[in-house]
Amino acid sequence: MDNRTETAAVDTDRLPGTYRRATIIGGGVIGISWAGLFLAHGMDVVVSDPRPDVEKLVLDGLEEVVEGLAGLGLPTEGLADRLRFEADLATAVADADVVQENGPERLEVKQEIWRTVERAAPAHALLATSTSGIPATAIAQAMRQPERLVVGHPFNPPHLVPLVEIVPGERTSRATVEQARDFYTALGKQPQILHKEIPGFVANRLQSALFREAVHLVAEGVVTEQELDDIVTDSIGLRWAVAGPFRTFHLGGGPGGLPHFIEHLGRAMEATWPSLGSPAFDETTVARLTEQARQAFGDVPVGELAARRDRAQVALMRVLGDGHDPGTPAPTRD
């Protein structure tokens, strides 16, 4: 694919013929978002969730993701026509080409789910878990075919944000990893295959590192939450939407690039790392964060704020195209 805009135009022919039927395990926020994306790409989708009210939850949730999908250029007419519900897990996956699991983040629950799925799903099906924190190695310990399971961790919401972190477990096969990469790429995502399992994977660790310092600066009274958010959107957010941190500092090094940066500024930065903050969510800090959140965001319901954010996100994605190596046609990535 050449760029994100082009990807966004639906082209179900790009989905390998084997990916026609998806089963989504778990009808929560992440499951709904995946379901919307899969449906908009022409797949048939079964949602499996034991909650009695799952149909209403998912159908209501689908309505909320439709605007974003349409913004990406995907067709959104009659999505629910290709959506079914099946509480029984083994029945739900019996015809699946893809199983994307979004169950509770508890090891024993996921192990139980996958023990059932690997017995009931077709041999060719891609088996992926959306887990944000449990390694495939641990989940697959209970499986007879651990080579079939891979982490396909989206960044919320999956139907909008391009990243999917593909994290193989120790016994995941290369074929499964490539299957996952091809599938997510065909859906217009930007999958990244991690070379090692690490708690939190990459995006959330980076986010967590920055947020830790953000909490410190607000707790210390240097800025308010609203001021810190504005500082981020007006500087590093804007920057990192078009060039990641290494590219940014490569350019910061002038003609000498990153090596020059490290020698002249990086070492000075390293010297300051021990003085970054170590905040805690103690009573005082939580009270301050809560009060400032009320002041900054309290006037508008969260759902409306999220819709505004997603609208801005879509507008930005349309401008950025592929986003890699800004200003030039995106390279073919495989």
Site for a copy of itself in 264-293 (CB under 8 A): 266-267, 269-270, 272-273, 275-276, 278, 280-281, 286, 289-290, 292-293
Contacts with a copy of itself by CB under 8 A: the residue count is 110
Pick 99 or 317: Cβ nearer a copy of itself: 317
165 is a site residue for a copy of itself (CB under 8 A): yes
Angle at 194 between CA 188 and CA 195, to 5 degrees: 145
Taking each helix axis from N to C end, the angle separating 203-219 and 225-233, rounded to the nearest 10 degrees, works out to 130
The least distance separating a copy of itself from the CB of residue 191, rounded to whole angstroms, comes to 9
Residues 3-42 that bind a copy of itself (CB under 8 A): 29
Binder of a copy of itself out of 161, 171, 173, 178 (CB under 8 A)? 161
CA distance 296 to 152: 34
Binder of a copy of itself out of 13, 283, 327, 334 (CB under 8 A)? 327
Q: Across the chain, which distance is largest between two alpha carbons, in Å?
A: 62
Taking each helix axis from N to C end, the angle separating 54-71 and 302-320, rounded to the nearest 10 degrees, works out to 40
332 is a site residue for a copy of itself (CB under 8 A): no
Residues 240-259 that bind a copy of itself (CB under 8 A): 240-247, 249-259
Q: Which stretch binds a copy of itself (CB under 8 A): 49-57, 86-94, 175-183, 221-229?
A: 221-229
**Both tokens assigned to 284:** 């005082």
In degrees and rounded to multiples of 5, residue 68 shows phi and psi of -65, -45
175 is a site residue for a copy of itself (CB under 8 A): no
Taking each helix axis from N to C end, the angle separating 203-219 and 283-297, rounded to the nearest 10 degrees, works out to 100
